[in-house]
């Protein structure tokens, strides 16, 4: 069935476009079709053929399905760059959506939904309405997905036209494929919408579980994923659900299996009977093991998931460790994950076999894998006390082979083992010292030096050993320098003889005078002062007993782990990160007024506002994210105290233990802690994809009667960015920066948040008022970035906008009726009058009076806009129901549309 | 909850876009290409990179087939397992259409490729991947296109893998029971892992919509029916079924009932991890005279019954990569040095049960070695073989009932074969 399409790629270079144009307009069908193929071929290799738009669209009205598909494909690619011409295609689309052939009907809606041009979208609604109720299931299943497409382009339109209800009806469709696609579409819409759209009731649940038996494998995945969020009412219901899902474990498609596992694990949380739980664990084990016979990429996904599952329920695979032994031809990414799981499943019972495996891996070729295998031995030693000795003897055997990186890795883990089991295995120090001169990696050096310092009294020639390192002190990496400093002090305190005394002079001198590393210098000064004032106190501090470390192989926080388990099979479970950390789709959220007030509230010490909790939660989740990141480092962090907490709150009784531990921590922990978020998230206006790594989020805010531009700049590029400047284009309110943008040079991965004071009426634009704010930001490294922001009128509402009742009435009467306009704010809602009044008052929209009329509440409010323009506002609403009628009376009628926008945002 | 992918790319070996389909308009081809070319430039061995990579807000997932990469880009938290498996299915569909999927065949068929990408995925959600049914309404021959007036019922049916109205003069079913033996022997000669992965491969040539029922000597089923089988019953650790098998029914009473797809497919796969005696045992003695020569003596013993015979036996014995001047003698079959594999490959056409054969080989080693010698790649001995008319598990097809409303008689043919899967013996 092989084709010969490659001939379409070879066209004459010269005059290609005119030639194609001519062929496209040919009266011969075959020639026309060939020409379209050539156009698509050109498009495929990245040539710009958008100038042929009209000619290609003219070929659209054809009976030939293949040709039609090609023209449609062309449209998907180029409609956006020719929105005005794209309208030419609408007629054919609409006609095709009524074609007797269901293939063509479906093709028409499918394609229209892919064309993200407003003008086309408007015309999509009627065909979509029809197709959602089409007789042919093939058309309905395509239409179901199309609703999600439309929602992505214009959510309001979908809600206005009632497509969501039609989509919900499709859940009861008699065709399984339609049901599955409707579920996928609803699940997606739910993710972007703030209010509940797709709520799974026990009725829908039962319907969907029945559909599971009939739909395609991909549809089964949609349904299982959507149902995994369902919370069963009680153990009984949970057991029932599990019973209906378990047959999926026998499906040949591993995605179906994993999603079924996810659902079972979720429901198991509710099941109280230990027998049932044990039985389920037994049922899940074989399918999980079988996943390891799948394609390597799928094995990888499975292993990342199994790693989560065994942390939650270690018993499931406790007896299956052998299946995780690496095969010679496993890709390296599979081997790495298997190793991680082997450590997790290692126990006193199987450790001998596991060690034998690790030893085998330590002689393989891939350096990263070998290192990880060596570390794995160390981690097992720390985890399993009874096996520690055997682990160490394996490490010693490996050291004897004298492969450089194996030796270094072994020394790093042995240092951790010494920390875990102090005063137990020092007899091996002599062997370690033999490899001293092969060490060239900072971490290994630092570890070895730590060992020498810690056991200086038992190593006869400790001073000689340290001295050999001292010669190169100035050239060493910071972590080595820090360890050398501490180790020398330890040596001196333990053996206060002449040699060490000289050494300490040299070290302190080097570390205070010759360095520009503040950590090193500070620590040196502390030691120096301690030693010179009270050597006994120095002993207490430097030689203090250290906290015992523990194995960190099960290190995910329980709450994070639970959330990740709810995301089994998804990217979240592969990354071991929550979706928020990497999903970059912009959510349709509006800054709520109380959010906006939040930083001010904190500044005044009012930390009891509810928004504080929201932020607190965000901070913890990002925190747990970090701690997990640390855990995923190939080198497990052995030192117990976390570096971030140490400097903030030093443990009072032994303050200088800190210095010692800090050094260790520095050596082991990645230092880049993320900056804690200091306020509600701002809308991203310049995504880092467009800004070559620079991301700018910003929003106009009002604080203490002044307008500020709240900016967050994040540097995700590889270079330092400095010399930031900002400029605002002419706008309706003449907003401009009150001063220069003062931002320190931004290091890579660094960010800066700033409140830029703004002034008004500086560079006024002419024409009718609008909300557009065009911003330009430049720096010394990048081109100038331009982006658009939206001015919300409420930031100008002044604090003195409150009107007394009488005053309000008088002003109302003084204005002619022609100065009153009204609009229905369909998405606005009042949940409770009191809280709405309170919220609005916070943005300087003040309550004047209220009355009730025909089951509706009518609120009168006042606000004072820029240049003191009064706004008299009348809101008519039913509490709890969406849709508010907003009428406004103001001398500046042209501002009314802006006011409606602002009110709608405030009342969301 | 899950999400969808933004685009699907078919890339050449250097990571350049051959064909791509944009599903959501939020990842550009330029962006994806830039990322991916950089990624594979960095890695010497494409196998070494995780198949799921995050870059700048976008997750890329990719697999390789011949000289083509298939890659998706996603901005949402999509179902990674589903998408990666989908990519493998896309390969299957393309292979069905173009016989082989490679750069050239994509170029030669780009029109159909676009059509298929449009049909298999919508808005980044996998839709339909049954190659056989797809080819009923997406055809490479343009003239037949005009006839298609509607999508085949199967596309949206509960039986999405079979079209109605299939007719054969002679109704036949071929069932191959293929078992792969995976074994891992460590350097102490201990078997540390052994399992059997079996597959029931079916080829059906049946008219209409036949209802099939398969009976195996499955212990759970037989005990449930209160019957003791003639011969032995077997325990299967895990069974996976093709989507045509009614899983709820199987869960209920262990009946394997289904309406099969037309043509060939894997009806079921199973796994059992009983400790099996290695069917072919290999022992190697290596004597290494540093900087001059290396001597190998390898014994292979067949440990199955004499009435069975292993065929196409191939034993791969690793030798140092700097070995030269092979000198080989065998007691059976032929052995040759394969420098591209750094191995001595010993082939024996027919290896009856209960026999032992031997090979001796000698290689020269260079007299000078690099000072910083990297550790020798320690490859295991690898064995391939096939044993027809034999299964390790003892699985038996007790019956295959085929009922179609037209009432024809269909002939089932069953064959058994055992093969080596991942069969590795680590050298001492």
**Structure confidence by residue, pLDDT tens digits, A22-51:** 888 888 888 888 899 999 988 888 888 888
Judge contact between B358 and A346, C-beta under 8 A. no
Res. B145: pLDDT tops 60: no
Closest CA–CA distance from residue B307 to any residue of chain A (Å): 31
User: What is the tens place of the pLDDT at every residue in B36-77?
Assistant: 988 888 766 656 789 999 998 999 999 999 999 999 999 999
| Span A520-546, average pLDDT | 89
Which residue from A90, A97, A102 is spatially nearest to A130, judged by alpha carbons?
A97
Q: Is a pLDDT exceeding 50 seen at residue A763?
A: yes
pLDDT of residue B231: 65
pLDDT band at A608 (very low <50, low <70, confident <90, very high): very low
pLDDT for the residue numbered A665: 38
**Structure token pair of residue A552:** 């960190």
Its sign, for the CA torsion A899, A903, A906, A908, is: negative
pLDDT at position A602 is 36
Residues A494, A543 contacting (CB under 8 angstroms): yes
Please report which confidence band the pLDDT of residue A313 belongs to, taking 50, 70 and 90 as the band edges: very high
- Residue predicted with more confidence, B281 or A716: B281
- Cβ contact A301–B52 (<8 Å): yes
Query: For A319-356, what is each residue's pLDDT tens digit?
Result: 999 999 999 889 999 999 999 999 999 999 999 999 99
Question: Residue B330: in which H helix or E strand, if any?
Answer: strand B324-330
CB pair distance less than 8 Å for A2 and B108: yes
Distance from C-alpha of B162 to C-alpha of A762, rounded to nearest angstrom: 72
For A787-821, how does the pLDDT look when each residue is reduced to its tens digit (9 = 90+)? 888 888 888 888 888 888 888 888 888 888 888 88
Q: State the pLDDT confidence band at A585, using cuts at 50, 70 and 90.
A: low
- The pLDDT of B184-209, averaged and rounded, is 92
Measured between CB atoms, which of B26, B61, B238 is closest to A290?
A: B238
Lowest mean pLDDT among A559-568, A624-633, A743-752: A624-633
Dist CA A650 CA B160 (whole Å): 66
Q: Cα distance from A417 to chain B (closest Cα, Å)?
A: 27
d(CA B104, CA A594): 60
Mutate to test the interface with A, among B156, B242, B259, B267 (most CBs of A within 10 A): B156
The whole-angstrom distance between A513's CA and the closest CA on chain B is 39
Interface of A with B in 184-243 (CB under 8 A): 184, 187-188, 190-191, 213-218, 221-222, 225-226, 228-229
Calculate what percentage of chain B has a pLDDT beyond 90. 65
Residue B389 distance to chain A (closest CA, Å): 24
- Determine the average pLDDT of the residues in B316-336: 91
What's the whole-number mean pLDDT along residues A509-521? 89
Least-confidence region, from A434-438, A599-603, A790-794, B62-66: A599-603
Mean pLDDT lowest among A123-132, A710-719, B17-26: A710-719
The number of C-alpha atoms within 13 Å of A890 and in the hemisphere containing its C-beta is 28
Report pLDDT for A635.
Answer: 36
Residue to mutate among B26, B179, B240, B253, with most A CBs inside 10 A, is B240
Question: What is the nearest CA distance from A331 to chain B, expressed in angstroms?
Answer: 6
**Residues in CB range of B333: below 8 A, 6 or more apart:** B313, B346, B347, B348, B349, B357
- Nearest residue to B270 (alpha-carbon basis) of B214, B353, B204, B309: B214
Rounded Cα distance, A290 and B237, in Å: 9
Name the residue among B49, B75, B186 with its Cβ closest to that of A333.
Answer: B49
Distance from CA of A613 to the nearest CA of B (A): 25
Residue A150's φ and ψ, nearest 5 degrees, are -65, -40
For residue A638, the model assigns a pLDDT of 36
Q: Flag whether the pTM goes above 0.90.
A: no
Measured over the CA atoms of residue A690, residue A694, residue A695 and residue A700, the dihedral's sign is negative
Q: What is the distance between the terminal CA atoms of chain B, rounded to a whole angstrom?
A: 50
- Under the banding of pLDDT at 50, 70 and 90, the label for residue A648 is very low
Chain B nearest-CA residue for A141 = B156
Taking an 8 Å cut-off on Cβ atoms, the answer to whether A253 and B243 are in contact is yes
Tell me if A794 sits within 8 A of A843, measured CB to CB: yes
Q: Using the 8-state DSSP alphabet, how is residue A176 labeled?
A: H
Q: Give residue-wise pLDDT tens across range A39-96.
A: 998 888 888 888 899 899 888 888 888 888 999 999 988 888 888 888 888 888 999 9
Residues in B closer than 8 angstroms to A33, CB to CB, are: 142
Q: What is the DSSP string of A313-346?
A: -TTTTTT-GGGGSPPTTS-HHHHHHHHHHHHHH-
Nearest to B312 by CA among B384, B418, B381: B384
Do B277 and B263 contact (CB within 8 A), yes or no?
no
Phi, psi of B245 (to 5 degrees): -80, 135
State the smallest CA–CA distance between residue A688 and chain B in angstroms.
8
Tokens of A592: 């709520």
Phi, psi angles (nearest 5°) of residue A519: -60, -50
Beta-carbon pairs below 8 A across chains A and B:
317
Q: Which among B52, B85, B197 has the least Cβ separation from residue A254?
A: B85
At residue A685, φ and ψ (nearest 5 deg) are -105, -35
The strand pairing partners of B37, in sequence order, are none
The two beta strands, A751-759 and A736-737, are: antiparallel
* Structure confidence at residue B327 (pLDDT): 93
A172 in contact with chain B, both atoms CB, cutoff 8 A: no
- Scanning A108-167 for CB atoms below 8 A from B yields 110, 113-114, 116, 136-138, 141-142, 145-146, 148-149, 152
With a pLDDT cut of 70, the percent of chain B lying above it is: 93
- Closest partner CB to A145 (pick from B84, B108, B123): B123
Does residue A405 sit at the B interface (CB-CB below 8 Å)?
A: no
What's the rounded Cα separation, in Å, for the pair A587 and A190?
A: 11
Residues of A198-229 as b/e, b for ≥16 C-beta within 10 angstroms? bebeeebbebbbebbbbbbbbbbbbbbbbbbe
- Residue in A159, A149, A184 with CA at minimum distance from that of residue A170: A184
Query: Which residues of chain B lie closer than 8 angstroms to A401, CB-CB?
Result: 375
A612 pLDDT exceeds 70? no
Judge whether residue B84 has pLDDT over 60: yes
Partners of B110 on chain A (C-beta within 8 Å) are 5, 8, 40-41, 44
Considering only residues A634 and A33, tell me which one the structure prediction assigns the higher pLDDT. Answer: A33
Instruction: Give, as one character, the DSSP assignment of residue A196.
Output: -
The yes-or-no verdict on residue A391 having pLDDT over 80 is yes
pLDDT of B142 above 50: no
Q: What is the rounded CA–CA span in Å between residue A184 and residue A677?
A: 33
pLDDT of residue A754: 84
pLDDT the model gives residue A222: 96
CB contact, 8 Å: A419 with chain B?
A: no
pLDDT in tens, A658-686: 334 333 333 333 333 333 344 567 888 88
Hey, how many other C-beta atoms are within 10 angstroms of the C-beta on A513? 9
Mutate to test the interface with B, among A187, A216, A222, A695 (most CBs of B within 10 A): A216
Q: Which residue of B has its CA nearest to A177?
A: B156
Q: Which band of pLDDT confidence, cut at 50, 70 and 90, is reported for residue A623? A: very low
Dist. CA A763–CA A775, nearest whole Å = 13
Give me chain A's average pLDDT, please.
Answer: 83
- In this structure, are residues A3 and B108 in contact, taking their beta carbons and an 8 Å threshold? yes
Map out the domains of chain B with their CATH numbers: 7-152 (3.30.450.60), 172-274+392-419 (2.60.40.1170), 280-367+378-388 (2.60.40.1170)
Residue among A248, A325, A363 whose CB faces B192 most closely: A325
Which of B1, B110, B375 lies at the smallest CB-CB distance from A5? B110
Contacts A5 to B, Cβ<8 Å: 107-111
% of chain A exceeding 70 in pLDDT: 88
Residue A838 CB contacts under 8 Å (≥ 6 apart), including other chains: none
Q: Tokens 């796994």 identify what position?
A: B271
What value does the mean pLDDT take over residues A356-372? 91
DSSP A398: H
Chain A residues in contact with B192 by the CB 8 A cut-off are 322, 325, 353, 356-357
Residue A683 is given by DSSP the state P
The total number of residues shown for chain A amounts to: 908
Restricting to A residues 38-77, those with a Cβ less than 8 Å away from any Cβ of B are: 40-41, 44, 46, 63-66, 69-70, 73, 76-77
Mean pLDDT for B357-362 is 95
């Amino acid at each position: 069935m092989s084709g010969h399409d490659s001939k379409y790629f070879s066209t004459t270079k010269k005059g290609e476009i005119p030639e194609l144009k001519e062929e496209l307009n040919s009266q011969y069908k075959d020639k026309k079709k060939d020409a379209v193929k050539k156009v698509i071929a050109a498009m495929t290799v990245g040539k710009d053929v958008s100038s042929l738009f009209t000619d290609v669209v003219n070929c659209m009205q054809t009976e030939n399905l293949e040709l039609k598909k090609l023209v449609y494909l062309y449209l998907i690619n180029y409609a956006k760059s020719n929105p005005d011409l794209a309208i030419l295609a609408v007629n054919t689309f609409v006609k095709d959506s009524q074609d007797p052939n269901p293939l063509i009907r479906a093709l028409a809606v499918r394609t229209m939904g892919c064309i993200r041009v407003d003008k086309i979208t408007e015309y999509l609604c009627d065909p979509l309405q029809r197709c959602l109720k089409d007789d042919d299931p093939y058309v309905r299943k395509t239409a179901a997905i199309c609703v999600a497409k439309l929602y992505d382009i214009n959510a309001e339109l979908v809600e206005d036209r009632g497509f969501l209800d039609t989509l919900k009806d499709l859940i009861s469709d008699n065709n399984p494929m339609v049901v599955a696609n409707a579920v996928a579409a609803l699940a997606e819409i739910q993710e972007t919408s703030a209010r509940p759209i797709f709520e799974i009731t026990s009725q829908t649940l039962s319907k969907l579980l029945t559909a599971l038996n009939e739909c395609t494998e991909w549809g089964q995945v949609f349904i299982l994923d959507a149902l995994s969020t369902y919370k069963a009412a009680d153990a009984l219901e949970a057991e029932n659900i599990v019973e209906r899902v378990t047959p999926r474990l026998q499906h040949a498609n591993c995605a179906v299996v994993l999603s079924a596992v996810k659902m079972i694990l979720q429901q198991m949380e509710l099941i109280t009977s230990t027998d049932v739980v044990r039985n389920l664990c037994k049922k899940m084990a074989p399918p999980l093991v079988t996943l390891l016979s799948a394609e390597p990429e799928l094995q990888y996904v499975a292993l990342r998931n199994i790693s989560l599952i065994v942390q939650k329920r270690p018993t499931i695979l406790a007896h299956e460790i052998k299946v995780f032994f690496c095969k010679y031809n496993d890709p390296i990414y599979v081997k790495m994950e298997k190793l991680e799981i082997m450590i997790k499943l290692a126990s006193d019972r199987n450790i001998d076999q596991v060690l034998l495996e690790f030893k085998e891996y330590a002689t393989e070729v891939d350096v990263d894998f070998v290192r990880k295998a060596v570390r794995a031995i160390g981690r097992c030693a720390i985890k399993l006390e009874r096996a520690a000795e055997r682990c160490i003897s394996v490490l010693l055997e490996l050291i004897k082979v004298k492969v450089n990186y194996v030796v270094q890795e072994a020394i790093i883990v042995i240092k951790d083992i010494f920390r875990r089991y102090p005063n137990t295995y020092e007899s091996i120090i002599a062997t370690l010292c033999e490899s001293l001169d092969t060490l060239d990696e900072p971490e290994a050096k630092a570890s070895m030096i730590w060992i020498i310092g810690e056991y200086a009294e038992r190593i006869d020639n400790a001073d000689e050993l340290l001295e050999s390192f001292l010669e190169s002190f100035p050239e060493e990496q910071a972590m080595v320098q820090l360890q050398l400093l501490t180790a020398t002090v330890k040596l001196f305190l333990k053996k206060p003889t002449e040699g060490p005394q000289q050494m300490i002079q040299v070290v302190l001198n080097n570390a205070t005078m010759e360095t520009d590393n503040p950590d090193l210098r500070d620590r040196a000064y502390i030691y120096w002062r301690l030693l010179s004032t009270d050597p006994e106190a120095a002993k207490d501090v430097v030689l203090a007993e250290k906290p015992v470390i523990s194995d960190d192989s099960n290190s995910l926080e329980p709450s994070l782990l639970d959330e990740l388990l709810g995301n089994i099979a998804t990217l979240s479970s592969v990354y071991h990160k929550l979706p928020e950390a990497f999903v970059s789709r912009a959510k349709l959220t509006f800054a709520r007024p109380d959010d906006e007030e939040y930083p001010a509230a904190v500044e005044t010490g009012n930390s009891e506002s509810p928004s504080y909790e929201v932020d607190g939660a965000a901070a913890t989740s990002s925190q747990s994210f970090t701690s997990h990141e640390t855990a995923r480092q190939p080198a497990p962090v052995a030192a117990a105290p976390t570096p971030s907490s140490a400097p903030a709150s030093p443990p009072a009784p032994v303050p200088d233990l800190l210095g010692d531990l800090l050094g260790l921590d520095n050596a082991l922990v990645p230092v880049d802690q993320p900056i804690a978020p200091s306020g509600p998230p701002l809308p991203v206006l310049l995504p880092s994809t467009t800004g070559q790594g620079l991301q700018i989020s910003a929003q106009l805010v009002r604080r203490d009667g002044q307008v500020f531009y709240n900016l967050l700049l994040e540097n995700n590029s590889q270079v330092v960015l400095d010399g930031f400047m900002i400029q605002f284009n002419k706008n309706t309110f003449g907003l401009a920066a009150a001063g220069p943008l003062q931002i320190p040079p931004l290091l890579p991965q660094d960010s800066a948040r700033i409140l830029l004071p703004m002034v008004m009426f500086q560079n006024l634009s002419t024409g009718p008022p609008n909300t557009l704010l065009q911003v330009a930001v430049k720096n010394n490294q990048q081109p100038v970035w331009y982006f658009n922001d939206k001015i919300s009128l409420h930031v100008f509402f002044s604090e003195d906008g409150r009107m007394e009742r009488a005053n309000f009435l008088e002003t109302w009467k003084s204005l002619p009726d022609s100065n009153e306009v009204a609009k229905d704010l369909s998405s606005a809602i009042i949940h409770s009058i009191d809280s709405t009044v309170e919220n609005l008052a916070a943005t300087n929209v003040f309550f004047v009076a209220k009355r009730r009329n025909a089951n509706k509440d009518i609120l009168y409010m006042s606000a004072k806009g820029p240049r003191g323009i009064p706004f008299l506002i009348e809101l008519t609403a039913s509490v709890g129901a969406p849709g508010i009628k907003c009428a406004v009376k103001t001398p500046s009628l042209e501002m009314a549309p802006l006011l409606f926008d602002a009110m709608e945002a405030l009342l969301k | 909850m899950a999400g969808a992918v933004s685009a699907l790319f078919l890339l050449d070996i250097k990571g350049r876009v051959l064909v791509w389909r944009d599903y959501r308009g939020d990842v550009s081809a330029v962006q994806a290409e830039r990322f991916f070319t950089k990624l594979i430039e960095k890695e010497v061995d494409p196998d070494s990179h995780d198949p799921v990579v995050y870059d700048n807000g976008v997750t890329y997932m990719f697999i390789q087939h011949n000289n083509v990469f298939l890659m998706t880009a996603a901005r949402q938290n999509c179902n990674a397992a589903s998408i990666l498996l989908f990519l493998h299915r896309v390969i299957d569909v393309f292979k069905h259409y173009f016989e082989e999927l490679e750069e050239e065949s994509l170029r030669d068929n780009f029109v159909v490729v676009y059509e298929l990408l449009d049909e298999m995925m919508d808005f980044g959600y996998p839709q339909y991947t049954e190659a056989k049914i797809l080819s009923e309404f997406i055809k490479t021959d343009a003239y037949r296109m005009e006839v298609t007036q509607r999508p085949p019922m199967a596309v949206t049916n509960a039986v999405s893998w079979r079209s109605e109205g299939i007719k054969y003069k002679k109704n036949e079913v071929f069932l191959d029971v293929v078992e792969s033996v995976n074994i891992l022997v460590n350097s102490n000669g201990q078997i540390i892992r052994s399992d059997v992965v079996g597959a029931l491969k079916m080829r059906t040539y049946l008219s209409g919509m036949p209802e099939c029922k398969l009976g195996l000597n499955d212990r759970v089923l037989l005990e449930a029916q209160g019957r003791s089988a003639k011969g032995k019953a077997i325990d299967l650790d895990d069974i996976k079924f093709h989507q045509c098998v009614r899983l709820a029914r199987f869960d209920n009473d262990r009946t394997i009932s289904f309406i099969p797809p037309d043509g060939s497919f894997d009806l079921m796969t199973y796994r059992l991890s009983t400790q099996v005696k290695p069917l072919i045992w290999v022992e190697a003695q290596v004597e290494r005279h540093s900087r001059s020569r290396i001597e190998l003596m390898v014994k292979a013993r067949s440990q199955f019954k004499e009435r069975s015979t292993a065929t196409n036996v191939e034993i791969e014995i690793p030798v140092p990569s700097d070995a030269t001047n092979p000198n080989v003698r065998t007691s059976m079959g032929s052995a040759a040095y394969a420098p591209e594999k750094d191995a001595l490959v010993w082939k024996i056409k027919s290896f009856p049960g209960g026999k032992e054969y031997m090979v001796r080989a000698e290689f020269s080693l260079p007299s000078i070695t690099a000072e910083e010698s990297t550790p020798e790649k320690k490859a295991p001995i690898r064995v391939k073989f096939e044993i027809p008319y034999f299964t390790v598990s003892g699985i038996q097809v007790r019956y295959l009932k085929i009922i179609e409303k037209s009432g024809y008689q269909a002939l089932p043919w069953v064959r058994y074969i055992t093969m080596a899967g991942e069969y590795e013996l680590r050298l001492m």
